[in-house]
Amino acid sequence: MTDTDAVILVGGLGTRLRPLTLSAPKPMLPTAGVPFLTHLVTRLRDAGVTHVVLGTSYRAEVFEEYFGDGSELGVELEYVVETEALGTGGGIRNVADTLRGDTTLVLNGDNLVGVDLAVLLAEHRERDADVTLTLTRVEDPRAFGCVPTDPDGRVTAFLEKSPEPVTDQINAGLYVFRRSVIDTIPAGRPVSVERETFPGLLAAGAAVYGHVHGGYWRDFGTPADFVAGSCDLVLGRAPSPAVAAPGESLVLPGAQVDAAASLTLGTTVGRDAVVAGGAEVAGSVVFDGAVVAAGAVVRRSVVGAGARIGADAVLEDVVVGDRATVGARVELLGGARVWPDAVLADGSIRFSTDG
Ligand code: GTP
């Protein structure tokens, strides 16, 4: 599809996922055994969109070091670095010179949307839209800005969070732009596409449409969503050409998992990691080189690279930073985060942010 370029915004700090994002930018965090970005790029490739531009800022060098020119994934990758973060709209504007076609797909680098990209692009063209936003329906829209549409699919407003939302449709973080519209975004200063560009286009009478997508959608921006999303990928509930054989768990090369350990609910065990006998790892992500000792229980949690979880420790809904040590029998529950290299001594400490 030579008339369509893709831009993936990957420049954010990923503060909600700290401390994992202290060592790697969010789109590079391993999900189902590969950097999250791999799932997005392979989906684009399979839809025939092979010129992909990454708008980078935070830890910009890491992306090119890993992906190079993109040829291993069957795409042509370009990188455009913001020396000062320009926000989502500024990030799109900043890559304008690299765009070749008259249609641009824009993806948030932390959202996975199962929308059929060919159908989305065809609808955008048929409507002769300036911008088409993919919208998803959520059960509780109060925590999100809402995007109502009229019966023809035209966006009627961009509404802030409200205790009484008028629709359950929210922005899914994947857009199609008419190429020329990107030039109208102010250059050289931070711009939010959600708060400034979209409302501005609507106010100016531009043809802004919504494409409501009823399939898979998740924002991988919080620890709970990151873990759940990684498990969705392993289990085959989330669409990705980069997951060859969905299953109950994914064990990467070099990992040692004792026959008497249990790995369930989409758990990934990273390269050279160790899970000892009697350990139970459910719905979790164990990064490369981490160790889960005998009898430990790890549920809905992330164990950072090289971290060590002691015997009979219990972790639920927590994030353990890289190389941290959680001692034997320690209980960590409900949203606790252990910083990289921290050491929690053996003992029956119980720590929960829920009180
Ligand atoms: P939090 O700090 O946890 O909110 O995460 P974030 O920094 O990733 O912000 P957010 O989730 O709102 O960003 C949505 C997408 O836009 C992510 O893929 C970010 O990488 C990307 N993004 C956010 N800010 C910028 C920016 O200034 N420049 C570029 N190029 N991308 C950005």
- The alpha-helical segments, DSSP class H, found in 80-214 are 87-94, 117-126, 179-182, 198-203
pLDDT of 355 higher than 50: no
Q: Give the span between the Cα atoms of 269 and 168, in whole angstroms.
A: 36
> Which amino acid residue places its CA nearest to atom 7 of ligand 1?
12
Q: Let me know if residue 58 belongs to a domain.
A: yes
Find tokens 């998803």 and name the residue.
136
Q: Let me know if residue 38 belongs to a domain.
A: yes
pLDDT range class, residue 163, cuts 50, 70, 90: confident
The CB of 85 under 6 Å from ligand 1? The reply is: yes
Same-domain pairing of 215 and 90: yes
CA 238 to chain centre: 12
Atom of ligand 1 nearest to the CA of 12: 7
Q: What is the pLDDT of residue 108?
A: 97
Say whether the peptide bond before residue 19 is cis (omega within 30 degrees of 0).
Answer: yes
Residue 55 domain boundaries: 4-223
Last residue within a domain, chosen from 208, 223, 238: 223
What CA–CA distances, in Å, run from 282 to 29, 219, 224, 325? 19, 21, 13, 20
Q: What is the pLDDT of residue 203?
A: 96
Same-domain pairing of 176 and 252: no
- Are the beta carbons of 131 and 201 closer than 8 angstroms? yes
pLDDT of 354 higher than 60: no
Choosing from 69, 102, 150, 161, the catalytic residue is: 161
The CB of 89 under 6 Å from ligand 1? The reply is: no
Q: Let me know if residue 239 belongs to a domain.
A: no
Last residue within a domain, chosen from 155, 190, 223: 223
For position 200, which CATH number holds?
Answer: 3.90.550.10
pLDDT range class, residue 164, cuts 50, 70, 90: confident
pLDDT in tens, 21-36: 998 999 999 999 999 9
Strand duo 4-9 + 51-56: pairing: parallel
13 CA to centre of ligand 1 in angstroms: 6
Q: Let me know if residue 236 belongs to a domain.
A: no
The CB of 26 under 6 Å from ligand 1? The reply is: yes
Same-domain pairing of 181 and 254: no
Same-domain pairing of 31 and 75: yes
Buried b (16+ CB within 10 A) or exposed e, 138-168: beebeebbbbbbeeebebeebbeeeeebebb
Residue 212 CB partners (closer than 8 Å, separation 6+): 135, 136, 137, 149, 153, 169
Q: Which helix (H) or strand (E) holds 326?
A: strand 325-326
CA nearest neighbour of 206 among 225, 182, 238 = 182
Same-domain pairing of 205 and 86: yes
CA 256 to chain centre: 28
Same-domain pairing of 58 and 192: yes
pLDDT range class, residue 347, cuts 50, 70, 90: confident
Same-domain pairing of 194 and 298: no
Mutate to test the pocket of ligand 1, among 9, 28, 83, 195 (most ligand atoms within 8 A of CB): 9
What is the number of domains present in the chain?
2
Say whether the peptide bond before residue 190 is cis (omega within 30 degrees of 0).
Answer: no
pLDDT range class, residue 353, cuts 50, 70, 90: low
Q: Let me know if residue 90 belongs to a domain.
A: yes
Same-domain pairing of 214 and 169: yes
Find tokens 């059929």 and name the residue.
116
Q: Give the span between the Cα atoms of 51 and 316, in whole angstroms.
A: 41
Same-domain pairing of 13 and 152: yes
The CB of 319 under 6 Å from ligand 1? The reply is: no
Same-domain pairing of 178 and 261: no
Find tokens 């939302």 and name the residue.
165
Q: Let me know if residue 235 belongs to a domain.
A: no
pLDDT of 352 higher than 90: no
CA 159 to chain centre: 24
Same-domain pairing of 148 and 255: no
Q: Let me know if residue 233 belongs to a domain.
A: no
Last residue within a domain, chosen from 223, 240, 270: 223
Mean pLDDT across the chain, nearest whole number?
Answer: 95
> Which amino acid residue places its CA nearest to atom 19 of ligand 1?
12
For position 324, which CATH number holds?
Answer: 2.160.10.10
Q: Let me know if residue 261 belongs to a domain.
A: yes
The CB of 25 under 6 Å from ligand 1? The reply is: no
Q: Give the span between the Cα atoms of 294 and 244, in whole angstroms.
A: 30
26 catalytically annotated: no
User: Tokens representing 182?
Assistant: 């990107």
Same-domain pairing of 192 and 267: no
pLDDT of 132 higher than 90: yes
326 CA to centre of ligand 1 in angstroms: 31
Find tokens 């090289």 and name the residue.
306
